[in-house]
Each structure stands twice: as structure tokens, then as C-alpha cells.
């Protein structure tokens, strides 16, 4: 099975929400595992990449060049509304902290040097926001708190293909990765800005090399 690693680093605070909060602490808690380590679900990550792919295809459609890439996109990400049997060849794992960092944090927890809650607190912060009323003051009852992952945090996710992708498919994937700029809640309000790259099994950054065939074909 062909595999790559997608790595991204947050440039602004992000909340990979889990859909609920913690009473008396935050209204919106982030996804984190039993060790207090934040992560982004693979299903969500694949959806974000598929969204960028749709944007890329739209831009190509305006140039009259979408047809040759659309089938590759469907083969990789699946067709909109597709059944489980037709969800595409690309499998996306959960995006987690680099393995060396995870192991180091788990080790200090095992030695009782810090608690799991302290690990979570070290990697995150709690932000509060409120709505303003017509007079410019805080709207009553609108104060909400949200846990955010700190800028500079790096995540890695395994990308696996059920069948070997060709050069054009990988080039389209690289275009989607380069176009991907934000993730998480409130990503349209400045949160979750990021930069992403693709790495091979030898940990070489191959993003630019993979993207080159796409750039050559679509550039005027």
C-alpha cells in the first residue's frame, strides 16, 4: 500500500472541536486523547482536503481545464454522496503530535512528573469572547470560552492509498495540500491558520516535486 505523511504546523491558535464542553471550564473543548494530547480526526482532515480539491477544480473549470483532473479527484476522494464502497482510494489517519513528542510526554506522565491535565494545559490555552450590543458593550449572556491549540504546534497524519496512485493524482494531492490554509472552528475568523507539506517514507519533503506536474499543466 502506497503511503505518505502529511505534516502541518499551526500558525495561529486552532480549536479542533469535539462538539461539547466541560462544565465550569470551557464551552468548546478540543479533541484530545486519553493522554491529554490534541488531535484532528482523519475523517475531518480528509473532508478539509476534499474541500480544497473542490476549490481547485472550480478554479480549473474557469480555465476550461477541470475535466482531466475531475476523475482523478473522484478516484482519490470519492464522489459527493458516494456510498461506503465508493469513497475513494485515499485513506487519511488521525493527525497527531509527532511520535517522538508523544512518547516523551507519555514518559513524564508515567513518572508522575506531570499530570494528564497539565500536559493538556501546556499545549493549549483558553480564549474567551463575547458579542457586543448596539451600544458597544458586552451582550448579556454571550460570554463563551473555547480551548485552543497553541500556534507552532505540529501534527502528522498518515495518508495511505488502496492502490498505487499515478503521478497526476499525487500532483493534484500536492495542489490540495498547498491550497489548504485553515482548520478547526472559526477558521473563517482568523483561527486555525496553518502551513502543510507532504513527506515520503524517508522523511523527505516532496511537496514541491509532486506539485510540479500540476503546475506545468495548468499554467498558461
Distance CA 71, CA 66 (A): 9
Note the pLDDT of residue 134. 64
Note the pLDDT of residue 26. 64
For 193, phi then psi, to 5°, come to -70, 140
Question: Which helix H or strand E contains 136, and what residues bound it?
Answer: none
HSE-up of 190 (CA within 13 Å, CB side)?
0
Sign of the dihedral through C-alpha 189, 195, 198, 202: negative
Give the tens place of pLDDT for each residue, 16-60: 876 555 544 566 788 989 999 999 999 999 999 999 999 999 998
Note the pLDDT of residue 67. 84
Total domains in the chain come to 1
Note the pLDDT of residue 147. 84
Note the pLDDT of residue 23. 47
Give the tens place of pLDDT for each residue, 157-181: 999 998 888 999 999 999 999 999 9
Distance CA 78, CA 138 (A): 45
Distance CA 2, CA 5 (A): 11
Confidence of residue 118 (pLDDT cuts 50, 70, 90): very high
β-strands 90-92, 154-161: how paired?
A: antiparallel
Better pLDDT: 186 or 27: 186
pTM for this one? 0.88
Confidence of residue 218 (pLDDT cuts 50, 70, 90): confident
Other CB atoms within a 10 A radius of the CB of residue 25 amount to: 10
Q: By residue range, what is the domain housing residue 140?
A: 2-218
Note the pLDDT of residue 135. 64
CA distances from 6 to 33, 57, 152, 218 (A): 20, 21, 16, 24
Amino acid at each position: 500500500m502506497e503511503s505518505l505523511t502529511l505534516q502541518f504546523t499551526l500558525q495561529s491558535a486552532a480549536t479542533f472541536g469535539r462538539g461539547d464542553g466541560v462544565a465550569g471550564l470551557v464551552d468548546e473543548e478540543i479533541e484530545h486523547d486519553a493522554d491529554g494530547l490534541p488531535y484532528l480526526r482523519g475523517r475531518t482532515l480528509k473532508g478539509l482536503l476534499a474541500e480544497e480539491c473542490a476549490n481547485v477544480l472550480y478554479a480549473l473549470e474557469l480555465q476550461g481545464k477541470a475535466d482531466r483532473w475531475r476523475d482523478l479527484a473522484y478516484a482519490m476522494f470519492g464522489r459527493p454522496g458516494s456510498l461506503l464502497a465508493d469513497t475513494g482510494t485515499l485513506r487519511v489517519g488521525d493527525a497527531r503530535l509527532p511520535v517522538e513528542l508523544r512518547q516523551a510526554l507519555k514518559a513524564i506522565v508515567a513518572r508522575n512528573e506531570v499530570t494528564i491535565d497539565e500536559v493538556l494545559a501546556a499545549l493549549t490555552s483558553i480564549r474567551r469572547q463575547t458579542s457586543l450590543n448596539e451600544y458597544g458593550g458586552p451582550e448579556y449572556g454571550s460570554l463563551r470560552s473555547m480551548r485552543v491549540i497553541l500556534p507552532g504546534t505540529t501534527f502528522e497524519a498518515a495518508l495511505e492509498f488502496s492502490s498505487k496512485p499515478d503521478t497526476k493524482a499525487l500532483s493534484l494531492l500536492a495542489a490540495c495540500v498547498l491550497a489548504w490554509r485553515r482548520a478547526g472552528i472559526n477558521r473563517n475568523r482568523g483561527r486555525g491558520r496553518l502551513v502543510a507539506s507532504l513527506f515520503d517514507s524517508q522523511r523527505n519533503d516532496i511537496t514541491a516535486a509532486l506539485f510540479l506536474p500540476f503546475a506545468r499543466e495548468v499554467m498558461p
